[in-house]
Each structure stands twice: as structure tokens, then as C-alpha cells.
Amino acid sequence: MARIVIAGMGFGGLSAARTLAGSGHDVVMLDRNNYHLFQPLLYQVATAALEQESIAYPIRALARGWRGTSFRMAEIVSVDLESRRLICSDGELSYDHLILATGSRTNFFGMKNVERHAFDLKRLDQAETLRNHILLMFERAAREPDPARRSALLSFVVVGGGPTGVEFAGALRELILHVLARDYPEIDPSETRTVLVEAASGLLTAMPGSLGAYARCRLEQMGVEVLLASCVADADQTQVLLADGTSIPTCTLFWSAGVAAHELAGSLGVPCGSAGRVKILPDLTIGGHPEVSVIGDMACLEQDGAALPMMAPVATQQGEYAARAILGRIAGKAPPPFRYRDKGAMATIGRSSAVAVTGSSSFRGFLAWVIWLLLHLYYLIGFRNRILVMLNWGYYYFFQERKIRLITGTGSNSQPDSCRSRHA
């Protein structure tokens, strides 16, 4: 019986564990959290559309029906490739085969001030922190007599025109126009600003240009200011500075302009590619270490002349492949090279509007939005979570109301008259 350790229970790790369950081997799942997080819906937690618990599912609950699996909650400190062991926050763990799926981190491209003052969304607690911050900005603006400061409190800058930035900007604008405008009658919605900054010449550049143009048009109809071919150069607690010298007074900067591999990738002592991702062989293993597979956002693998994108579908397919490849090696069989099957991409742009592309077909508007809803419900883990999310979406669709508007954490109110860093 071989010990197979899966480090990271995101989409790739979950797919690998599901495939290895019941294989007759000792499968150890390792993660710093005791739950699997459905990251594509984190922005809806941050914009008061969903509760935190509805997009997370306990790993131990999943493992109940998976024979031969166990879970260990720990942080990985380092990997000793030569002795085949993990050094974790709670001790060491040896392995015969290892699947590294620890994911990614936000890439601030070396801009320390931006990193210090920007919000990002990679963890569940970050979504709650951002939601608290947005609501607190309205609380403070409601009693702020200075027009300039009031304007900064009510201005929200979103950096990155990919799916996360587009979805967050649209959801935030709808929260402001349809919910917070009624909660705060002393604030005119025209006083608020939502600015989307993108360095490229269009939005959603991984999709056909017509879909990016549609997304821009819809966002602008909602009142989002879209700044294309614009780069952020610096930021502090009260403003965002663009490369062309433009200053946007704001107390809220949301960063979704890039991701990089988890810090663990750089400590392995193996070649890395762009964004710090580990360069792997076609069978997803590290050169010289066939017992170690790297999948998901940590892995750098080229296909058809370009590196595979850091997306959940890639991680999911790689997780299943890596698990089957390990079982094949144990049985003495060499696995064929991994090949990603692109099933398409999509992004929602608020209520009743989305864009989607699959193969040579593209969709936009209400039909794309329905497809987006159904697919996200399908891939969400847990029957209860699916019901809760569906009920919340249905309630908002018919009443344009979001009930999850609690400001939690007493520390958030300790400095009511100052813009605060995300680390404050």
C-alpha cells in the first residue's frame, strides 16, 4: 500500500482525492483550512449576496464516503524532495507519491504600497473583511460633512478587467444602486463612483472581442467607469495613482489584476516559469522526481504554444489525470501526456446578464446568465449549499434585495474617521 499525499484541497486537490478514493492506498489530504472553498463565488460574499458558509464545505464531511482517505489540517512549511517528506506546521509527513496543489496568491507585481492598501480575494476571511469595509464606507460617508472626503469614501476602484474584476464591479454597482441606496437615503447614488481599471485595450481579453465589448457596454450602462489601457502605479489610504499621473481619490482599492504561484513553488529548488509557476513535464511531474506531481495554479505547462491558464477547469482536469497517472505508475504503466480539454469560459455582469464562450460558440445576455447560474450551482459542493445559493439568487432576482449586510468585528469601528488599510 502506497501513501499518496495531496497538498491543497482546492479544485485540483479535490478532483485528485475523489479519483484516488477507494483505490486501496493510503490517501492523505492536507490543507491549512478544514474546508474546500468555491472561489468563483467569493466576490458575492464580498458584495453581500451570499453567506460565507454557503460557498465552503468541510473536507472531513467529504471524506466520510471516500474509503482509504484521511485529512490533516496543517500548513506546509517546506518540501524535502530527496527524503520524500513534507515539513508541516505540526510536524513531518512522509509520502510515496505527492500531488502539490497549493494554488496561487495575488500578484501585486512588486508594488508594496498597492499590496499594503489593496483588498484581494483569495480566502474566505478576506471576503468578509471587504464586505465590512464597503458597508463601513457608507456608514462613515453618511455623517461626513467634508465633500472631498465624502467623495473618497464613496469611490471604489477595481483593478483588473478579467472575469473577477468584471464580476465584482458589476455586483458592487448593483449593491450600491439597488440596496445601499435604500439603506442610506442621505446618500445620493450619483455621489458614488465605481471605477474599473484595466491595462489592456479591452475587457475579458481571453474571450472574443465582441464579448469584451458587450461587458464594457453593460458595465457602463450600470454606471461603472471603465478605464482601458490604464495602469496603477501607486496607492495609499486616500488615493490611487495611475501611470499617466491621474489621481483617483478613494478609500477602497480592490486588486484582481494578476495571480502568482503559491510561495511554496519558489522553495522547491526546481525551475520555475512565469508568475513563479513550477515547470513540469507533460505527465505533470517534476523533472527527476516522477513521484511528485504539480497541478493547478502552481504548475506551468505549455500546450499549443502557450502556458495553460490558471483556472479551476485546468486544475480539475489535472487533478484527475495526476491521480490516475499515479495509480498507473504503481501498476507499472507509463501514463500518456496530459491534454487539457477547453470547455469554455464565462463571466456574469450583474442581474440577467453574462457572457460565455464554448468552442466556436459564444453567448451573451440572459441565456449566458442562465448557463452561468446552472453551471455554478452544479459544481458547488453540498446539497445544502446549492439550495441556499439558489434561494439567495432567486430572492435577489425578484426583489433586488440582499440581506447579508451585517458589519461584523468590533475592531472595524475603532477608527471611524479614517480610511483604513486592509491590514489595519
Q: Which of 47, 341, 362 is nearest to 354 (CA)?
A: 362
| Beta strands across the sheet bearing 361-365 | 345-348, 354-358, 361-365
Kindly tell me the burial class for residue 111, based on how many C-beta atoms sit within 10 Å of its own C-beta (0-12, 13-18, 19 or more).
Answer: middle
How far is it between the farthest Cα atoms of the chain?
74
Q: Enter the C-alpha cell of residue 8.
A: 491543497
Cα distances (angstroms) measured from residue 180 to each of 7, 40, 153, 156, 194: 41, 24, 14, 14, 14
Neighbours of 406 (CB within 10 A): 12
The contacts of residue 7 (CB under 8 Å, 6+ apart) are: 13, 30, 31, 76, 86, 98, 99, 100, 101, 102
Interstrand relation of 354-358 and 345-348 (parallel, antiparallel or unpaired): antiparallel
**Is 167 annotated as catalytic?**
yes
Active-site choice (144, 167, 174, 198): 167
Under a CB-based contact definition with an 8 Å cutoff, are residues 102 and 109 in contact? no
Which residue type is seen at 12?
Answer: G
Bridge partners of 31, per DSSP, are 73
CA distance 388 to 2: 39
Q: Enter the C-alpha cell of residue 188.
A: 445620493
Under a CB-based contact definition with an 8 Å cutoff, are residues 368 and 356 in contact? yes
Catalytic residue annotation: 167
